[in-house]
Amino acid sequence: MQADFVIVGAGSAGCAMASRLSEAGASVIVIEFGGTDAGPFIQMPAALSYPMNMKRYDWGYWSDPEPHLGGRRLACPRGKVVGGSSSINGMVYVRGHAMDFDHWAEAGADGWSFADVLPYFKRMETWHDGGHGGDPAWRGTDGPLHISRGPRKNPLYEAFVRAGEQAGYEVTDDYNGHKQEGFGPFEQTVWKGRRWSAANAYLHPALKRENCTLVRGLAERIVIEDGRATGVVINRGGRRQTIRATREVVIAASAINSPKLLMLSGIGPAKHLAEHGIDVLADRPGVGQNLQDHLEMYIQMAASQPITLYRHWNLASKAFIGAQWLFTKTGMGASNQFESCGFIRSRAGVPYPDIQYHFLPLAVRYDGKAAAEGHGFQAHTGPMRSPSRGEVTLRSADAAEAPRILFNYMSQEQDWIDFRRCIRLTRELFEQEAMKSFVKHEIQPGNALQTDDELDDAIREHAESAYHPCGTCRMGRADDPGAVVDPQGRVIGVDGLRVADSSIFPRITNGNLNGPSIMVGEKVSDHLLGRDPLARANDTPWIHPAWETSQR
């Protein structure tokens, strides 16, 4: 079993690389522990709460008790299936803000500024505006990843955007185009009524080529000989086997599993590896550090009219929606139901949005439990750039054991200031004229909670992960002691080994991470093939002209 390139992980970035490398004529073996992505739970967009909570498709990780959230352990789902987390996520498509990537470049990820990455976002996309306007010049027209918009038939979607406008915020018809800031239609990786995961976009077509192979097994460690990665040891049902790479090994196993595999292979903080009896091949203190995520809360309102999705929250209706989708790929089942959104700045002096809204015309939790109130709707909101940092560390030297995950959420005073602000700004949105005829009362956190202390207690009790872990194999310059990979994704201190997934993000991007993770796979493919990067773009993104003095 050998190939030019061996990729560990058939997730968002891994699928993109498998496609681009095999398309260029290189032989590729992709190692994936999870099983098939066939079946309605994954492929039907509206069923998104199911795969995320199924042992069959999810690694089932939990954080250690979070000291600043009252010792709660938070769920950290990661896709254990072909397509990785792109097969179990909420299908929301956000590129991130231009200034996110400019920050990456300033932090030492040379060649990853917005001008550098925009051409890769365009290359990967086929964008369908659905007649809602947008910025065609900023978008891709012939990439493998289809991006669409929901039908937005429910009146609450439009009411939410109008409420933002009435509160004095911008309106944008394409937050992935020229202007992110403002309220407008949400985009989803859905095409012809199906979840358009990285597997559907990239891997399944690539596997039709003779030079691309998928191998099922648990990657236990990277084989490193004379300072060079030459293969991967995998466990297939109790039997160990080495998959050899004649050119390079690429780890694309997620912000949780990529650092774990590096540490199991002797690459990481020397003291920590020694504690677990692992020989140190490269002392990289940054491996597993710099863990970031988005934390959010659902601000829920009871509805005064029976127009929410709650009317479908019964077996008969779910059966009808499921059948309609199975036979026609249309109807309610064909959307993730996140069809309106907002990106705003929390205060004057913040140059670009640091709060995101996912709006949903149903009061429900990620695990699919509906609010006891019945008809309701909610906005998921939280700060985008928390200063808190956590870590992923080994529990033992056994590859089959889950790593320790500590996000260290809300560990900085700024986190609390920002989060309270999110809640208060959201309440103000729901008080606007556009929402008045729909709002009955606040369910969560509840109108009785007004003081800082009361809101802090609610955050401690109810904040949830948005499932956007990243940063644990940070990209930086080769002489940066805290960096794990250089700006080409090469692991510093080991030849023939790269990491390419959300773990290399120096700092978390605005919004959902599937888009930027796929972009990383696209860009690192060119580095792996020794190609010149795509020509830089010179499009200038919109920044609020009065950002220094005004919050909106």
Q: How far apart are CA 80 and CA 219, in angstroms?
A: 13
Contact 61, 402 (CB under 8 A): yes
| Residue ranges in the chain whose pLDDT is less than 50 | none
Shortest CA distance to 73 belongs to which of 347, 321, 405?
405
Query: Is 89 annotated among the ligand-binding residues?
Result: yes
Q: How far apart are CA 79 and CA 365, in angstroms?
A: 19
Residue-wise pLDDT tens digits, 191-235: 999 999 999 999 999 999 999 999 999 999 999 999 999 999 999
Judged by DSSP in three states, 33 sits in coil
Note the pLDDT of residue 49.
Answer: 87
Shortest CA distance to 80 belongs to which of 62, 43, 55?
55
Domain ranges across the chain: 61-76+146-193+292-465
Residue-wise pLDDT tens digits, 224-267: 999 999 999 999 999 999 999 999 999 999 999 999 999 999 99
Query: Is 81 annotated among the ligand-binding residues?
Result: yes
Residues classed as catalytic: 468
Tally of residues, the chain: 552
Q: How far apart are CA 396 and CA 417, in angstroms?
A: 37
- Output the CA–CA distances (angstroms, integers) from residue 107 to 57, 104, 288, 483, 540, in the order listed: 35, 5, 18, 10, 21
Q: Which residues of 448-470 are buried (b: 16+ CB within 10 A; e: fewer)?
A: eeeeeeebeebbbebbbbbbbbb
Helices and strands, number each (H, E), in the chain = 14, 25
Based on the number of CB atoms within 10 Å of its own CB, is 540 exposed (0-12), middle (13-18) or buried (19 or more)? Answer: exposed
Transcribe 271-283 into DSSP letters: HHHHHTTPPPSEE
Chain centroid to Cα 315, Å, comes to 31
- Output the CA–CA distances (angstroms, integers) from residue 371 to 149, 237, 333, in the order listed: 26, 42, 20
Taking domain 61-76+146-193+292-465, whether its CATH number is 3.30.565.10 is answered by no
pTM score over 0.95: yes
Q: What sign does the dihedral 440-442-447-448 (CA atoms) show?
A: positive
Note the pLDDT of residue 366.
Answer: 66
Note the pLDDT of residue 364.
Answer: 86
Query: Is 435 annotated among the ligand-binding residues?
Result: no
Q: Could you tell me which residues come within 8 angstroms of residue 145 by beta carbon, excluding any fewer than 6 positions away? A: 124, 125, 126, 189, 196, 198, 201, 202, 518
